[in-house]
Amino acid sequence: MTNIENFKSSCPVCETINAGRRSEEFSDRRKGLPGIWRLVDCLKCGAIYMDPMPSDAELQGYYDAYLKEGELVLSVGLGSRRPKLRQVYHAVSGDVDPRDFVEIPSGGRVLDYGSGDGNYLSYFHSKGVNIVGAEISDKLIAASEEAGLSMTRVDDFDRIPFPDGQFDVVYLMQVFEHLRSPRRFMQELSRVLKPGGRLYLAVPNAASAWRRVFARNWVSGWFAPFHLVHYTRDSLAGLGREYGLPAVDSWSRTPESWFRLNVKAALYRKDNKVENPRLFPDALPFKLPLMLLLRIVDLLVRERDCIVVEFSKR
């Protein structure tokens, strides 16, 4: 349901009060968490944000439910052992992987914020990079430490637990959209970076052509209640400039896995757990032609599903 109304809350990106006007309510179509959440368009900066924002306790509850039960074991996958093969595969699949594009200076220190299952952290660590991860999940932290990786606990959703000027490179892959206070966090990112340091953000693209095609079934992007703010290149670049982090590069790509998730949401409209495997959309004879088709379409579309923006600290 879409409503046109004014809101007293301020936009978390540009801080304009009453900037939001169009609102729409969403349920969780991917994990099946119960509830309804409202997203509001900011008419000034173009960001789309959840209103009201969840509390710390609510966020922790969401992520506790998000993580699968059972033991998490980190392993070195084929993509880490065969980087050339991985790059070729990602060129076809459209996957956005920091191992393919993050540039690390010799001897540089790196922060992988929101390390998840630790695949990227493990890869860079195996290459001798001085890298540390940061996570909120006890399960993910324990698994990473068991694998001999350096990991720091995040106790405050709005603060990075490191001193000033610690890192040459910081990257957040599909993390920034989960943050409730993007202005405060961009300031934190600037704080922990050294002068000349690089920041890489990868997030769903609110300006994506596929968002308009799939509408409410664009579950790769909406993903309520986990994705709290939705960005365009311009809204991210504007936010970075305010905190001494001008954008130096940006690009977008449509991962086949994201597109297929949206296809499933469109096909199974009454299903609220579309991440579960489906015989038709997840079958290899469907996935391979889809990868090739998307790469052709990507040549014709400027705004694809996932944007990557690179910033440099002044």
The tokens for 77 are 């996958």
For the stretch 241-258, pLDDT in tens is: 999 999 999 999 999 999
Which string of b and e fits 198-228 if b means at least 16 CB within 10 Å? bbbbbbbbbbbbbbeebebbbbbbbbbbbbb
Quick check: helix, strand or coil at residue 176?
A: helix
pLDDT for res 100? 96
Estimate the crossing angle of helix 284-298 against helix 256-267, to 10 degrees.
Answer: 110
pLDDT for res 29? 96
25 Cβ contact partners less than 8 Å away, ≥ 6 residues apart: 1, 36, 37, 38, 39
| Sign of torsion over alpha carbons 188, 189, 192, 196 | negative
User: Residue 151 carries which side chain, given as an amino acid letter?
Assistant: M
pTM exceeds 0.85: yes
Q: Which fold has domain 2-312?
A: Rossmann fold (3.40.50)
Q: Strand locations in 118-162, DSSP E?
A: 130-135, 151-153
How many residues comprise the chain? Answer: 314
Give the span between the Cα atoms of 289 and 1, in whole angstroms: 34
How far does Cα 272 stand from its chain's mean position? 21
| Sign of torsion over alpha carbons 192, 196, 197, 201 | positive
Q: How many CB atoms are located within 10 Å of the residue 165 CB? A: 13
pLDDT for res 20? 65
pLDDT for res 76? 56
Give the span between the Cα atoms of 64 and 229, in whole angstroms: 20
Alpha helices in the chain (DSSP H): 56-66, 78-81, 83-93, 98-101, 119-126, 138-146, 182-192, 209-214, 219-222, 233-242, 256-267, 284-298
pLDDT for res 7? 57
Structural domain spans, the chain: 2-312
Tokens 């790509």 correspond to 253
Q: How many CB atoms are located within 10 Å of the residue 277 CB? A: 8
Torsion from C-alpha of 263, 267, 271, 274, nearest 10 degrees: -20
User: Residue 156 carries which side chain, given as an amino acid letter?
Assistant: D
Give the span between the Cα atoms of 119 and 53, in whole angstroms: 30
Q: Over the chain (314 residues), what is each successive 10-residue block's mean pLDDT?
A: 60 81 89 93 89 87 67 56 88 95 97 91 94 89 88 90 98 96 97 98 97 96 96 95 98 96 95 88 90 92 96 96
